Structure 1
C-alpha cells in the first residue's frame, strides 16, 4: 500500500473490545454515523458540521452519508 493512501484507524474510537460484541457495536456506530451524515446532507448543512475528528473511521462514514444526502436533496429540488 502506498504511504499516503493508508487509512488511519483508531480502534478505540469505534470498537470497545475485540470480541464479537465489539465488532457489532463498531458496525452500529458506523451505521449511525452514515445516517447522521445523510440527514445533515438532506438538511444542507455544511460538510464542516461533521462531529467526528480527522482520522476517525466514523468521519469517513459520516461524509459518505452526507454525500448521499446531498444527492438526495438536490434530486428532490430538481423535481
Structure 2
C-alpha cells in the first residue's frame, strides 16, 4: 500500500518537474515540492513501520521541510 503511494507521488513530482523543465515555468515548482514532501513522509512512515529510526527521522525532516517550502511559496 505505502509503496504504491510512494511511487505515485514520485511519478507526479517527476511529471511536474519535466513539464517545468521543458516549458521554463517556475510557477509550478511549489506543487512539485508538495509531492516530494509527501513522498518523503511516506518513506518516513515505511521506515517507522520497519523500526528503523535513523532513516525515518531524516526522511521526516526532509518531508516536513519540502512541505513547508511548497506551502509557503503558494500562500
Q: TM-score, normalised by structure 1?
A: 0.39
The answer to which structure has the higher helix fraction is: 2
Q: TM-score, normalised by structure 2?
A: 0.41
Bigger radius of gyration: 1
